[in-house]
Chain A
Amino acid sequence: MIVLENVDKNYGKHQALSGLNLTIPLGKIIGLVGENGSGKSTLLKIIAGLTTPSSGSVQIDELKATRRIASKIAYMPDADMFYPFFSVERLFRFYETQFEDFNYSKACIVAQYLNVPLDAKLKNLSKGNRGRAKMAATLGREASYYLLDEPFSGFDPLVREDIIKGMIQFTDPETQTVLMSTHEIKEAEPLLDAIILLNHGKILAFEEVETIRDQYGVDAVTWMTKLIKEGDLSGNKTNR
């Protein structure tokens, strides 16, 4: 379980996150949505222990989130962070030296499932295949939590579909949780158990996808747009 209590994060005078309280259970795929600058990436980095909150506490399975929490959390950044001269296989060998929970053969199985050639150099792969390789490297870890920053961003629909299928195939819905930020809400919705909506550094809503459809009779995009508009109308414009 991931528990955040009264988390603030300031960058100078800019308040990226304010007064966040959040509990994320195991066994869920959760989407983190909101406009650009709403605090999604900051929140993921704080949970991954890559940046510290200005105040408040973040605990993962009752441990404080620090850089060492990386052993429980597989964080996949938005940016391409690999050595271009590595082959896919070499990348996996490198991951093996960095993460105790990395399972080399699982990574290779995921890569094969996504049709990524293991012996190709990263710099020679298409953007889509680099995205697939990155996903395989991340899913190669046997972590309790996968934090994915914009896993679909910049990819064509075929790559997105592969990434979605990889996630369903290679995560355990009972013992692992995926928390991913995304703007591709329409495509991600069938994959998600629940959605956290961030707006101006605050949590505007945390709702199960089926509840949104059942109770409001709309899909997630319509629901989210409505909430953001209502929030802005009521003067909830903290950080703009």
Chain B
Amino acid sequence: MSIDFLPDKPIYQQLIDRITGEIIRGNVKPGEKLPSVREYAVEVGVNANTMQRVYKELEMMGISETKRGQGTFVTDNEARLQQLRDEVKEGLVQSFLTSIEALGFSKKEMIEYIQTRERGEEG
């Protein structure tokens, strides 16, 4: 299945986000084998050179490792994966803060609203 890409961000970056998203969601487990560059490229309909770059970046980020003759695997380094979760969390919060600041909401106002909303959902 081909996927739709956002227009304003490099494709390799969107693919990195997609793979790290799968890891965070738990759909791809620590130590699990990833598809080959070619397989993944065909699956999502992108150039193999782009996919090569994605795998290289993931490896440089310490998210994956290549074992000679066996393929590419998600790291089983739990500390690194926890750090990845934290990085993504930080990114989400940062973009949320930027959006609310742009509209003039205060952090306090938003936190209070989230808490009220949570209580409302529970009750």
A contacts, CB < 8 Å to B = 27-29, 161, 164-165, 168-169, 173, 189-193, 209-210, 213-214, 217-219, 222
Contacts and interface: CB of A to CB of B under 8 A. Distances in A.
B42 A213 contact: no
A210 B10 contact: yes
B47 A169 contact: no
B2 A169 contact: no
B2 A161 contact: yes
B8 A190 contact: no
B2 A190 contact: yes
B80 interface: no
Nearest to A215: B10
B25 interface: no
Interface of B: 2, 5, 7-12, 38, 41-42, 44-50, 52
Ranked 4 nearest A-B pairs via Cβ: A219-B7, A173-B48, A190-B46, A210-B10
B47 A191 contact: yes
A192 B11 CA distance: 11
A218 B6 CA distance: 9
30 contacts: A29-B47, A29-B49, A161-B45, A164-B2, A164-B45, A165-B42, A168-B38, A168-B41, A168-B46, A168-B47, A168-B48, A169-B38, A189-B5, A190-B11, A190-B46, A190-B50, A191-B45, A191-B46, A191-B47, A193-B49, A193-B50, A210-B12, A210-B50, A213-B8, A213-B10, A213-B11, A214-B10, A218-B8, A219-B7, A222-B7
A165 B2 CA distance: 9
A194 to B, nearest CB: 10
B47 A193 contact: yes
A55 B105 CA distance: 65
Contacts of A27: 49
Given A169-B42, A190-B2, A28 B11 contact: no
Contact of A190 (B5, B9, B38, B52): B5
Nearest to B9: A213
Contacts of A165: 42, 45
Nearest to A27: B49
Contacts of B11: 189-190, 209-210, 213
Contacts of A222: 7
A210 B51 CA distance: 12
Contacts of A169: 38, 42
Given A161-B2, A173-B49, 8 more contacts: A27-B49, A165-B42, A168-B48, A190-B44, A190-B45, A191-B45, A213-B8, A213-B10
A191 B49 CA distance: 9
Nearest to A164: B45
Contacts of B12: 210
A109 to B, nearest CB: 14
Contacts of A219: 5, 7-8
B13 to A, nearest CB: 8
Nearest to B15: A190
A171 B49 CA distance: 11
Contacts of A28: 49
A156 B69 CA distance: 39
A165 B43 CA distance: 8
A25 to B, nearest CB: 12
Nearest to A165: B42
Contacts of B45: 161, 164-165, 168, 190-191
